[in-house]
Structure 1
Amino acid sequence: MPRRSILALVTCAVTVAGASGADAATLQTDTRCYQERQEVVVRGAGFAPLATINVARNGRVFASALADANGAFIGKFVTPVMPDEVRERLYDLSASDTINTAATRYRATKIFANFKPGSGDPETLRVRFTVNGFGLVKTGVPVYVHYVSPKGSERRTVRLGTTTGVCGRIVRTRKRRLFPFEAERGRWILQFDTRKKYERATSRRRTPWVRKPVEIS
């Protein structure tokens, strides 16, 4: 008899725990990384029906939503612009109706490409390249720099490496010559993108790119 009671208690405990897990409030964004100023879509479920839900970012409430009869909601907001010196940031996002609370995280990034040091003799200058935000469409992609001459023709393409992380970054490459060839005077364009074959990037392109002018005098 005692053994039968223990089994009944365990069964009840499992059933209750299962119901609690199913009813727990949830919160999720439509992707894990966004370009700054990009629209974020957030979905919540498991909240009190028709309740007002406060949405907070990094602990500060910045928006509210109204749950439907099933306790679900969907909302949109624009992720903020980051300071110039910040290229990637992790945000904590939470939603609460005072009874139920759910949380998630998302990252925001700048689309950025540059090199350091930024000046020197172009024949001997050795630099390290840094890239951010090149994984917004697809993670783990190769990044190339295309050297476009003052006359507008491609002179050479160099593979810098493969992005890491959710947003797609190359923290710092090994040191290499800025111009791996003898470059004539004039205004060069260094185009950073994820395509091995050069094609002038425009606003119609869906994948990230940066065009950086470099003057040789």
Structure 2
Amino acid sequence: MKLSQCSYYEIDSTMGKVLSSIRHPFRNFNLESRAHKVISQEKPKPAPWRHTDQIEIERLMKEHTKEYEESLQKHEELDKHLKQVYVTSTNPDEIPNKKNENPDRPLPTDRTTVQPFLYGMKEPERIPAGKSSLKGILELISLHQNDPKIYNAKKIAEDTMIPENTIKNILKYYRVFEVYIPQERQVKAKFAGPSLPRVEIIKQIRKELPAPSSKRLPPPSPSDKDKT
């Protein structure tokens, strides 16, 4: 009986699952105590050296035996000096800006994100006489639309010190948005479409071409060809 490649793969996967289920209990046995044993070691075990490095170290140990023995011993005086060394850290002082800044036009110190403005641009803090901001113009237009008799062009020009001709042009060519609420209808709306179709189909009987005859014309004679 021959096994296909898929059957071999299924057997390998099942065997791998069985072996891994057997290994897990042995691998996790007494895991916590083994971990504490490794952590409690005073000195970790160094990684093994290479063969060439091991030969070189043995040669140096033989040639400089005295220095090697001194390196293994603890130097009391150096250890005493080391215990007297302390490190303290303090925040550094702020470095002043060395650039010559103009006090009348100081650079911005706030680096936070600027929130979007109401009308898409920043409104000026000071508005000279005879001028107005976008917000002020919109308020004037709104007042005029609500009560055009009181807030006419002459009244607005006197309050804002803007030329009356300019105010008239603003009120003529600019308006603010208005909300119109339709009145409630008591009669149901009817279909306002056309009652007749715009395209009418007209049936006309067209003249039909005569059916082709089954008789064929005879071929021209040789004498007719000579004449042509």
Both proteins in one fold, TM over 0.5 = no
Instruction: Select the structure that is richer in helix.
Output: 2
TM range (shorter): under 0.3
Please identify which structure carries the higher strand content.
1
Structure of higher RCO (CA pairs closer than 8 Å, 6+ residues apart)? 1
Greater Cα radius of gyration, structure 1 or 2: 2
TM-score (norm 1): 0.19
